[in-house]
Structure formats: structure tokens, C-alpha cells
Amino acid sequence: MFLSLLSLIGTADAETGPARDSISPRSENASSAGLHNPFGRTPPGQCSKEVLRNGVQLPPMSELYRIWNGNKAWGTPEMVQAVVTASEEMAWLMPSANPLIIGDISTRYGGYLHGHKSHRAGVDADIGIFTVGGHQPQGGGFEYVTPKTMDYEANWMFWSSLLETGLVDRILLDQKLIDAMRDHLIDSGELSYQEAQEIFPPRGTPRMWALTGIFQHAPGHANHIHLRVLCGEDQLGW
């Protein structure tokens, strides 16, 4: 499945240059925060903000995720690679969990997308949050989540899989859910205090905008995560 995705991405880039490399693993000594511009990818702030060039449509994979609207499921190769890779990892490690709910990414050529300030260049995606029991939202909307209803194991399994791709710029989430997950991971021993602080930096951390692979507060994100990915040279601002 993953090999076919890489073939799809390589084909999409063929008109403008060689196919991009597959995902590079994190350096053993590199923290997920403070890792500026890893693997030669470019932070979205330096990329096209209004259009999507050489976009790739997220392929239908009902065993991994459910796409709300295929016409709004176009992203950069990095976006598609991150979502599919982490979804495959999630399905392998926790097959009892519901398939992920994938909301809006971008339209085929990007540009303004109704209801969003971003989602114009294929580097932003809205994804549902697991509630207790590995449940994803059902129906046509996201489900409001609290620290009591959040499934810590399932969400961290998926979120950490995203981070491990090395393609994540940041994940936007409500602060109370960030705090609850950070505390859970420290208390359970899954992360040290230092590791947790790097991935979930406190609000007001100096130069937070320059950090990658982090969780950051955003109002209105208590019912989904907003994934923002790094991008390649073919998506530089123009």
C-alpha cells in the first residue's frame, strides 16, 4: 500500500523534477522540537500560501480513514505521505480503533476554501480526535472532546506516528487537551519531562514559530487536530 503511494507521489512530481525521497527517520539525537527545517523540507511560512502546485489527492483507503469530501482532500506530497503513513501505523498497532476521520485539506489547485483561513496550499488538514474506546466522530462533523473523553493511548499512537514521519511542522490543538496529554505521558513514563516539554512547549515559549514537530494551542480546536506539514522546494512561495 505504501509503495503504491510513493509511486503516486513520484508521478505527481515527475513534471517538475525527480520524485522526492521516502520518509527519513528522525536522528536519534534530535528532539522533535527545535528541529528547524529537518531533512531539507521547508516550513510552510516560506511556501506558497494561496495555491497548491503539483497536488496529490489523498487516496481512498476505507480501512485506514474516511474522507469527508474528496474534492477537498488534495495536498502536497508531504501531506499525503504523512497522513497515509501514520494511518497505516495506527491501523497496524491498534486495529480495534475506528478509521480516522479526515476533514478538509485543500481543493485541487488550492486557493480560498470556505470556512477556513488556511487550507489554501495543501499543507493543512483537519483530522478527528479519538475518544475513549478508540472511537472517531460519526456523521458529518467532528465531536467535541474533553480530557475525560479523550482516548490517550489511541491519540498518542497516531500523533506520535505523525511526528515520526519528520514531516510535521506543528499540530494545532486546544490547550486543555495539550496539557492533559502532556501530563498523561509524563505520569505514565512514556515521555520524560524534558521530552514532553519539547513536544508540548508551554505557551509563550520564545521563538515557538521556529520550532517544528510541536503541539501548539489554537482556539476552536477541541474537536479536531489541525495538522500542518513541512513542504518541498516545489512548493516555495511564488
pLDDT at 42: 65
pLDDT at residue 229 tops 50: yes
pLDDT at 157: 98
pLDDT at 51: 81
Least confident of 27-36, 95-104, 105-114: 27-36
Measure CA of the first residue to CA of the last residue in the chain; give whole Å. 33
pLDDT at 111: 65
pLDDT, tens only, 122-137: 999 999 999 999 999 9
pLDDT at 116: 66
pLDDT at residue 26 tops 60: no
Are 94 and 72 in contact, with CB atoms under 8 Å apart? no
Structure-block grid coordinates of residue 154: 489511541
pLDDT at residue 179 tops 80: yes
pLDDT at 139: 77
Can you list the domains of the chain with their CATH numbers? Answer: 2-14+38-235 (3.30.1380.10)
Confidence of residue 209 (pLDDT cuts 50, 70, 90): confident
Least confident of 47-51, 52-56, 84-88, 147-151: 47-51
Structure-block grid coordinates of residue 128: 478527528
pLDDT at 37: 39
Q: What is the mean pLDDT of residues 89-112?
A: 91
pLDDT at 121: 84
Flag whether the pTM goes above 0.85: no
pLDDT at residue 147 tops 80: yes
